[in-house]
Structure 1
Amino acid sequence: MGVGDVKRRIAEILREVTDEVWARVAWVAVDLTKELIRTGRRKIAVLADDVFQAIGLHKAVAYVKGLLGLIEYPPRSVDVVVAVVATSEGLTRREIGRHRWASHRPIWNMPRDGFIQLYGQIPGGKPPFEEVWRATGGNSKLLGELYKAGWSAEKALREIADERKITAFVKTLRDEERELLRRAVDDPDVLFTREDIPLMERLADLNLIVDALPERDPWFWAGEPPPERDPELGIGRHIAWQTPLHREAVRRALGG
């Protein structure tokens, strides 16, 4: 089996694009990797991006363990097997993080220089770079969504609010929690206290914040770490908003 066979197998599965199909692709990738090893491939890299939405949180640990099995118990001798799984879901990260066999490295948004290059490749008219940077904080996915929305920050804000059900979430909060959230809009680190961890975790589960940021030493990061603090972009020492637009969506839901 060669790479072409793998591509054809996945293409066959993707002819009918449904949630169940994406889950099958995620698991088939593990099986096909085993087949590649059996047929003599000695260097293998498996890259999976946000597959947990397809396979379900309850299977996330099993999936990562399956990839670990490729590394620890390959079907035949290999030179190297690397498996990298990326997730944007705080809930999934915490679930997997309880186990010692997974090595965790956060990936932050693009650094400014790289983001300038990406911004420069987008065709047609567009807002000034500084405006886009302040809205996205270097998040490439949000940059793409802004482009598809005709550079309308209002449309992007409504989409974030609808996807995360932010208005409904705010309505569930007690008065003191709403007040804390208002303070967190200006300084997310106010959530980093023992009594406020439940609210912090709920925000992380909604993918509105990134909690428990490690030291800014590059050793602890996959790629360039964020600045120590950047109030304009919503980055604190321990906690950061996913993007400035995520923070703004929460601010509006609070009536601010």
Structure 2
Amino acid sequence: MRRVKLRLADLDVEFADRDTALRQVEEFAERGTYPVYVIYGPEGCGKTALFRQAKAILEEHGYIVIYFSPMEKEFEYRLSVSDDAKELVKPVLEVLLGENGAKFVERAIELASRVMRYRERVAVLADDIFQAVGLERAEIYVKMLLNLIEYPSAPIERVVVLVGSSEGTTRVRVGRHSWALLRGMWNMSRDGFRELYEQISGEKPSFDEVWRWTGGNPRYLAELYKAEWDVEVVVKGLVRRKGLDKLAKKWRQGLERAVEDPDYLWDEYPRTEGLIQELTELNLLSETGYRDTYLWIDQPPPVDKELGIGEKYAWQTPLHREAVRRILREIGS
């Protein structure tokens, strides 16, 4: 299997780890998907990298793949169509690339429908579309993608439709319908993350130290690298970007308990319902309660209180938890 090249900050790296997830993608290739698979996971956990590797796998299995990510700024990552179909959709591509937001997503789905008229195996990989279309409309676009499977524009052998999202707040909206199967995805395993870490040359902290801060999250490995391994810079960036001062003033007591043990949020439910909602909306917290392997892409996270991973809830990375801890200290001093 060809491993794709990816960008990590300003570095070229090779796709690493995720052997279980890659086998799952091969299973999708062999039988198609029904209904739509929506993959949720922490921001930066590697969903986009997996989708780009999945594109290569699906093409090896004879699929025409339409990959799109409306939030990407770079042209080559916003929309990618398998080489064998580019001439077929060239007129549509030229129009589509001038669109943004919901219109871009709608055009990309139309493009996939067009390809189905000419090819027997088609895959659609829709990455981080909910933020582009509006979280309140997430389920509508899942239904549009399901229509590609149920009502293809021409007879077709197999269809694969995968959607990736870090927007945990849409899980309930999407999950209340039978239009999609929800699957979790977590940060990289320790061994797999080591493979990625070792592709970064030059002076750097020990692997154990980087693991303790990132919990295996590739994006925050990149953030640390860009900050010249200064944890303070990354933590302060999280505090500012997510507006944690307001959150800490509103939920101080609950947060003080949650940074010590995220399962406090479950133990005290429903009293903590509002706090859970806000932490989820800010992409600080993820639900991890169901660990049956079939409910996950790759492997579910093991309980690890040192990394902030509880039985029911987990901080998306130790850096996220540390950012909350720091702002609590500041407002308490």
TM-score of the aligned structures, taking structure 2 as reference length: 0.69
Aligned to 2:132: 54
Q: Any stretches of 5+ residues in structure 2 without a counterpart? A: 1-82
- The aligned amino acid for 1:197 is E
Greater helix proportion: 1
Q: Describe the superposition over 1:23-80 as per-residue Cα deviations: whole angstroms up to 9, x where unpaired.
A: 44322221111011012x1111111221212221132111111110001111111111
Q: Describe the superposition over 1:88-112 as per-residue Cα deviations: whole angstroms up to 9, x where unpaired.
A: 1121222212222210011011111
Aligned to 2:274: 198
* Structure with higher RCO (Cα < 8 A, 6+ apart): 2
Could you tell me how far 1:12 is from its partner in structure 2? Answer: 6.6
- Worse overlay, 236-245 or 105-114: 105-114
Candidates 81, 86, 95, aligned match of 1:4: 86
Aligned to 1:21: 100
- Are residues 104 and 156 of structure 1, via their aligned partners in 2, closer, same or farther at CA, if it must alter by over 3 Å? same
Could you tell me how far 1:238 is from its partner in structure 2? Answer: 0.2
State how many pairs are aligned. Answer: 245
Q: Describe the superposition over 1:143-168 as per-residue Cα deviations: whole angstroms up to 9, x where unpaired.
A: 12222222221121122122211112
1:255 aligns with 2:329: yes
Could you tell me how far 1:10 is from its partner in structure 2? Answer: 4.5
Runs (4 or more) in structure 1 with deviation over 6 Å come to none
- Are residues 126 and 27 of structure 1, via their aligned partners in 2, closer, same or farther at CA, if it must alter by over 3 Å? farther
- Are residues 202 and 129 of structure 1, via their aligned partners in 2, closer, same or farther at CA, if it must alter by over 3 Å? same
1:110 aligns with 2:110: no
> How many Å separate the matches in 2 of 1:89 and 1:102?
15
Aligned to 1:31: 110
Aligned to 2:297: 222
Q: Any stretches of 5+ residues in structure 1 without a counterpart? A: none
Could you tell me how far 1:7 is from its partner in structure 2? Answer: 7.5
> How many Å separate the matches in 2 of 1:94 and 1:218?
20
> How many Å separate the matches in 2 of 1:111 and 1:25?
34
User: Secondary structure, in 3 states, of the residue corresponding to 1:180?
Assistant: helix
Quick check: 1:42–1:78 contact (8 Å CA) kept in 2?
A: yes
Candidates 194, 209, 224, aligned match of 2:285: 209
- Are residues 202 and 32 of structure 1, via their aligned partners in 2, closer, same or farther at CA, if it must alter by over 3 Å? same
User: Secondary structure, in 3 states, of the residue corresponding to 2:234?
Assistant: helix
User: Secondary structure, in 3 states, of the residue corresponding to 1:46?
Assistant: strand
> How many Å separate the matches in 1 of 2:137 and 2:84?
28
Task: Using the aligned pairs only, state the percent identity.
Answer: 48
User: Secondary structure, in 3 states, of the residue corresponding to 1:84?
Assistant: strand
TM-score of the aligned structures, taking structure 1 as reference length: 0.88
Quick check: 1:87–1:93 contact (8 Å CA) kept in 2?
A: no
